[in-house]
A and B are shown apart, each in its own frame.
Chain A
Amino acid sequence: MIPFELDGDLMFIDSNPGERLLHILRNRYSKFSAKEGCLSGRCGSCTVLMNGSPVPSCMIPVFQIRGASIITLEYFKTMVDYRDIEEGFASAKVEMCGYCDAGKILHAHALLEKTLRPTSEEIRECFAGNACRCTSIEDLIAGVKTAAVLRRKRKNAQ
């Protein structure tokens, strides 16, 4: 049995050690925000936060999650940090087609955790593993910069 934390709850899973985390999330826990895409870690549609870092869940054999904390987009959307990104993206008219949302939102969050004043270059680099066809990178840059402003304001107010 492999113990791990999924969206704040302790779970134990008995599985083929080579099963991809992506399929575990979708088939056993009905976490459908992680989508199956390239299965090679290049498209970003299966992104989850593992111990706080955005990672492609298709590249993770389930034995690797022992003791790890996994956060899916479903759970992240209930957190206060999501509000900044949601508002920032909405103000920049970032399209949310549903397929690449997990990659866009969780990578944006990870970048804002590192810096609250991200440069355009840093934002481009952060979305390097996201094959998003619904939004232009310029809109994403504007969205993340607005989200950064909102998060700065919120942190200052706290």
Chain B
Amino acid sequence: MLNKLTEVTYAQSIAEVQTTLKNVTGITLAAGCTEIARRQTGRNLHLPSEVLALGRIPELCSISKTERYVEFGAAVTLDAILQLGRKNVPDVLYDAIKGIANPGIRALATIGGNISAKGQRLSAFAPLLALDARLEIRTPGEASWIPMSRYFSNEGREASREPDFISKIRIPTELWDVSIYQRLGAEGIVTTGTASFAFLAKFQKNILADLRIAFAGKFFFRKKEFENLLIGRSLPLSMRDIMIIKEKAELFFEESYFPPSLERSCIFNLLEEGLKTLT
């Protein structure tokens, strides 16, 4: 018997998604559905009243690679990304995806779903933030590329914003001398304690040429001002340098924004661990 409470529309093209977004207010986009399913243990899955299925759109399932970046359609599965191998995916992202759930779930879950899940930020979020990923955002009327850090905000979505969706994710594939990914919380499942941390560093002779630090859990951060304070320093760092940087970091991430918590302590411990690789 058909449940009249949920209406499912199958989109065949991106243009169809845009048109549907324009015409149907509040419709929910679904690709892998793991985010919907993981929160429910009942016999049937409770779906929103209007669902737009995206999994069959070829453009959203495509992967392309150039010398400078790799580009994923938002409905590319995590398993498909792992199958590209470490050669084609930045280490920090590969490690993050490999740690997600299990192979069965990764064959269903999509990269777009992973970064746009509501509430707790999931595993690929911090690595993509650190890698300066750009998102192709489609509204009913247009398409534009914007940095991931500009699309998401800790305060939540503006109510006035036009309905939109992520169609592609472009990730620079530059090489990093240090690439660290750390996941916090229980292994294989998402809980309120789940968070991820990414630390990337690049050297030129004995100088720290580039540094990226990103964290994502209940909230996320990436502060370029803080990274810029450290870029240009001579290497190796001493333990004293690390302590000074850690103190600066604590001043930098003002308490009002990141109140004392386990997550806050973890950020500083992970930062210290990352900096120790530069000693």
Contacts and interface: CB of A to CB of B under 8 A. Distances in A.
Interface in B31-47: 33-34, 36-38, 41, 43-47
Nearest to A130: B102
Nearest to B102: A129
B84 interface: no
A41 B55 CA distance: 19
Interface residues of B, dominant DSSP: loop
A67 to B, nearest CB: 7
Contacts of A110: 103
Given A16-B1, A16-B2, A53 B102 contact: no
Interface stretch (A58-66, A81-89, A147-155): A58-66
A107 B44 contact: no
Given A53-B79, A63-B8, A66-B10, A18 B46 contact: yes
Given A15-B1, A47-B104, A42 B33 contact: no
A27 B30 CA distance: 25
A56 B107 CA distance: 9
Given A18-B3, A63-B53, A128 B102 contact: yes
A61 B47 contact: yes
B1 A44 contact: no
A61 B36 contact: yes
A37 to B, nearest CB: 11
Interface string A11-51: 00011111110010000000000000001111010010010
A125 interface: yes
B33 A59 contact: yes
Contacts of A53: 79, 107
B104 A55 contact: yes
Interface in A126-141: 126, 128-130
Contacts of B8: 17, 63
A149 B87 CA distance: 28
B44 A44 contact: no
B108 A60 contact: yes
A44 B108 CA distance: 14
Given A18-B45, A20-B44, A59-B33, A41 B51 contact: no
A143 interface: no
Contact of B104 (A15, A16, A23, A129): A129
Given A16-B3, A19-B44, A56 B51 contact: no
Contacts of A17: 3, 6, 8, 47, 51
Contacts of B103: 54, 107, 110, 125-126, 128-129
Contacts of A66: 10, 53, 56
B55 A64 contact: yes
Interface of B: 1-3, 6, 8, 10, 30, 33-34, 36-38, 41, 43-47, 51, 53, 55-56, 79, 83, 101-105, 107-108, 188-189
21 contacts: A14-B2, A15-B1, A16-B3, A17-B6, A17-B8, A18-B45, A19-B45, A41-B38, A41-B101, A41-B105, A42-B189, A44-B104, A54-B104, A54-B107, A59-B33, A59-B104, A61-B33, A64-B53, A107-B104, A114-B83, A129-B105
Interface of A: 14-20, 23, 39-42, 44, 47, 50, 53-56, 58-61, 63-64, 66-67, 103, 107, 110, 114, 125-126, 128-130
Q: Lowest 9 CB-CB distances: which A-B pairs, in order?
A: A129-B102, A16-B3, A18-B45, A53-B107, A59-B37, A128-B102, A129-B104, A18-B47, A63-B8
